[in-house]
Structure 1
Amino acid sequence: MDDKISQLPDDLLLKVLTFLPTKVAVSTSILSKRWEFLWMWLPKLEYDDSEYSPGERYKLYSFIDLSLPLHKAPVIERLRLNFDVYGRSYRAYSIEKLVLIAVTRCVRELSVTLVSTPYKFARLPSNLFTCKSLVILELTGPIFVNVPRMVYLPSLKFLILGCMVYSNEKSLHQLLSHCPVLEDLVLERNDEDNNSPFTLSVIVPSLQRLTLKISRGYHFEGLVINTPSLMYFKILDYLEEYARDDNSNYSYYFEDTPKLEEADIESTYPDINKFVRSIRSVKRLSLCIRVNADEEGIVFDQLQHLKLCSCGPNWSKLLVRLLKDSPLLRDLEIYLNEDHTSSRVDAPVSWQNQLDCVPTCLLASLETFKWTVVYVDHKKR
């Protein structure tokens, strides 16, 4: 029987291979001489060592080191590397070499995810920071980031930076300030990525979506956000156990965001009024915060959708304030964060002395109310 598939033109066969995982596409090289090197024209490559046994990983690394420099595609549109480095310092050097090859092939999407902490951190080639073709960049794990003085990423729109080690406090700011069209930023910081006090600054005029995960320890001193085009903002801000006895406050500056429509805030920041006041123009708001009972309200004159976590004390008093100060509220949900299921859920307090009149939203705008965790006083059952 004739092999009709092999009779198809190379361009069409290559198109078929693009729909397969890289591992499967490479395996077609054993089918016949016609297929032997066809996969080497693939514009998108993804290598994940979690699919291999520990013994097979050495063969995978050697295969990548040998094949990528010889890859025939003139442009590598996407390169994804997901490695568990297990402390092997030779892998750190290989990462730099592989990224360098991708940059010279005008890579558009680059993702490097490293698991475990090696004895030697992976480094990045300096020409990565001047790559004109790069649109999406994801870096996560034990990677040492040393941003050169000459940095400019004119096409970068999506950036994910996990917990890495920065050469100095100014490295991140220098990187972000030279991404003129950046629209989406996901950033995770903790004490380990800076061994000296640092302030996290996000000053990006073009940014539309910002997600921050901040693990606060002894070295975190402040947060500065200046993103006038921001439309979506999410922050997960928590204090490390070893720093609980330290001062949990930090300096905070959030420039006005007139275009902000949605915010998701989970924070232990003590001056929450100052924090939330910066996002009072949102239409969608999710809150998991700690508040004092005597704090003043903040008017959310555009808020239509509200989710409130009931894990902390005084949450029901916060709800009263939000009902009074959100005249356009349409959807309300009381929930318990999945990570806080062991938290104490306070029973709603009496509202008798807190509401002098029925909130406007209850009379005019509220359409749906959902309560996924209902408090039960077992002593009275």
Structure 2
Amino acid sequence: MKRNKRSTSDVISNLPSNVTKNILKDLPLREAVRTSILSSKWRYKWKKLPQLVFDDTFFLKVRDNEKLKAVIYQVLLFHQGPLMKFELWYPPFGSCLDINNWIFILLTKNIQEFSFYLEAGFPYHEIPRHLYSLLQLRELNLSYCILKPPPTFKGFSRLVNLDFCHVNISSKMCGLFISNCPLLEQLSLRHCADFDSLEINAPNLKYFDFFGIFVSVSLENTPLLAEISVTLISWGTTRDKEPEEADSEWVKFFPSLPAIEKMNLHGAFLESFAAYNVPERLPCTLNQLKVLILYDVCYSNLDHVSWALCLLRSSPNLRKLRSTLREVEILHFSGAEPEIHFVKMLLAHSKVLERMKILHEYGISDEKGFAISKELIRFPRTSPKAEVIVDVTPDG
């Protein structure tokens, strides 16, 4: 039995360094630290971990907040060498000054990815000034924070990914922050402070995701932007502006997307434009657009349908609408004139369409449903394979 134990211990102790690194990297932080008891050769291996992730698995078994803080201090102080990634997820003690001290310790670690996610319900945590000294950052993820960069901050020159969720920052400062990250490729702004006007200058930006409130967005320099997702939970005062001012909002927006391949737009975003002056086509052609996803578009609303049609006419190489243009499904179809026109346009311009399924609005009479179905089926279609299926008797 002693030989077997010694043999097992020797195997564990003499594993190749690349194997031990992979084992430690894939373990939760708490378990990685506990490997120090395996043998004398494993005692200090965790101290050179390239990443420290303090997430819910780390906080799960310890309920004493002061003890948790002490453990985090110990891990950071004992860590040796460069630290590529640091994450702090939902600390049970919420916002506290210790967080600023932990960030200060990271200044010597050459950290490239920093993520801080405070739990909802706690006061927002104001990010300390020394975070802005982590100039080698390539990824920054913040949640439930207050961001007030000092006047001396000139940006993160190496930052590639930026994700703000519930971050309190002014629209002017946000735009300035983004423009000072020249290598930025991915940008996500979700549930941040209300933006009256957001200006984005990001020459290398390829992906942009926005969820929240703004009156207008200006993409000043985004020649590589290939994918965009905009969801408005409300919109500003575009409808209260003069027609010339309101029109300028979309005039500035779409021409700034020469490389756009995928657009995911919420119905409120379309309605935020000057709906009473919708053009036949955009002032530019979206030649690269392949996928268009329209969420919460009311097809009985002339404003929504007009903009949807405008986008379709301006996207000659579109391949997918919602799921795909080979297969389109329209729900809650009431037979309103804008809806009829929308279906007619799809059939007339979708060269690869194979199947269109239309489900009538619940409660529509059989007589009216039959009349609508008869009209839709007679529409000419560009695709010889296009099949139109109309459900006259939908269930509830």
Shorter-chain TM-score range: 0.7 to 0.9
Shift of 1:161: 1.0
State the alpha-carbon separation in 2 of the partners of residues 177 and 310 from structure 1: 32
Q: Does 1:70 align with 2:55?
A: no
Change (3 A) 1:19 1:179: same
Q: Which residue of 1 aligns with 2:179?
A: 177
Please say if residues 228 and 257 of structure 1, whose CA atoms lie closer than 8 Å, have aligned partners that are also in contact.
Answer: yes
SS in 1 for 2:87: strand
Map Cα deviations across residues 240-296 of structure 1 (whole Å, 9 max, x no partner): 8xx9xx88768744362222222111142475556xxxxxxxxxxxxxxxx67x844
State the alpha-carbon separation in 1 of the partners of residues 157 and 258 from structure 2: 25
Q: Which residue of 1 aligns with 2:120?
A: 116
Q: Which residue of 2 aligns with 1:35?
A: 42
Q: Which residue of 2 aligns with 1:22?
A: 29
SS in 2 for 1:132: coil
The one-letter code of the counterpart of 2:210 is L
State the alpha-carbon separation in 2 of the partners of residues 321 and 363 from structure 1: 13
Q: Does 1:257 align with 2:260?
A: no
Change (3 A) 1:295 1:174: closer
Tell me, which stretches of 5 or more residues in structure 1 are unaligned?
A: 275-290, 336-343
SS in 2 for 1:68: helix
Q: Number of residue pairs matched? A: 335
Shift of 1:159: 0.5
State the alpha-carbon separation in 2 of the partners of residues 48 and 153 from structure 1: 26
Map Cα deviations across residues 185-218 of structure 1 (whole Å, 9 max, x no partner): 111244xx37xx843222222212111111x3xx
SS in 2 for 1:366: coil
Q: Which residue of 1 aligns with 2:148?
A: 146
State the alpha-carbon separation in 2 of the partners of residues 20 and 230 from structure 1: 36
Correspondence list, 1:194-273, <5 A: 198-214=196-212, 216=213, 221-226=215-220, 227-239=222-234, 252=249, 253-254=252-253, 256-269=256-269, 272=272
Shift of 1:49: 3.0
SS in 1 for 2:26: coil
Q: Does 1:165 align with 2:181?
A: no
TM-score normalised according to structure 1 size: 0.73
Tell me, which stretches of 5 or more residues in structure 2 are unaligned?
A: 325-330, 367-396
Map Cα deviations across residues 96-134 of structure 1 (whole Å, 9 max, x no partner): 222222232010111111112434x42333233243321
The one-letter code of the counterpart of 1:298 is R
Please say if residues 111 and 138 of structure 1, whose CA atoms lie closer than 8 Å, have aligned partners that are also in contact.
Answer: yes
Please say if residues 236 and 266 of structure 1, whose CA atoms lie closer than 8 Å, have aligned partners that are also in contact.
Answer: yes
Change (3 A) 1:362 1:203: same
Correspondence list, 1:48-67, <5 A: 48-49=55-56, 52=60, 55=63, 58-67=66-75
Correspondence list, 1:96-107, <5 A: 96-107=100-111
SS in 2 for 1:110: strand
Change (3 A) 1:369 1:130: farther
Please say if residues 266 and 294 of structure 2, whose CA atoms lie closer than 8 Å, have aligned partners that are also in contact.
Answer: no
Please say if residues 139 and 160 of structure 2, whose CA atoms lie closer than 8 Å, have aligned partners that are also in contact.
Answer: yes
SS in 2 for 1:55: coil
Shift of 1:304: 4.6
Tell me whether 59-68 or 4-13 shows the greater mean CA deviation: 4-13
CA RMSD between the two structures: 3.7
The one-letter code of the counterpart of 2:199 is S
Please say if residues 278 and 310 of structure 2, whose CA atoms lie closer than 8 Å, have aligned partners that are also in contact.
Answer: no
SS in 2 for 1:102: helix
Match for 2:281 among 277, 295, 298? 298
TM-score normalised according to structure 2 size: 0.71
State the alpha-carbon separation in 2 of the partners of residues 178 and 323 from structure 1: 35
Shift of 1:233: 1.3
Map Cα deviations across residues 10-29 of structure 1 (whole Å, 9 max, x no partner): 56423421122222211212
Shift of 1:158: 0.6
Please say if residues 48 and 82 of structure 1, whose CA atoms lie closer than 8 Å, have aligned partners that are also in contact.
Answer: yes
Map Cα deviations across residues 279-326 of structure 1 (whole Å, 9 max, x no partner): xxxxxxxxxxxx67x844326563554444465233667666666665
State the alpha-carbon separation in 1 of the partners of residues 224 and 294 from structure 2: 26
State the alpha-carbon separation in 1 of the partners of residues 273 and 52 from structure 2: 47
Q: Which residue of 1 aligns with 2:370?
A: none
Please say if residues 180 and 206 of structure 1, whose CA atoms lie closer than 8 Å, have aligned partners that are also in contact.
Answer: yes
State the alpha-carbon separation in 2 of the partners of residues 233 and 159 from structure 1: 15
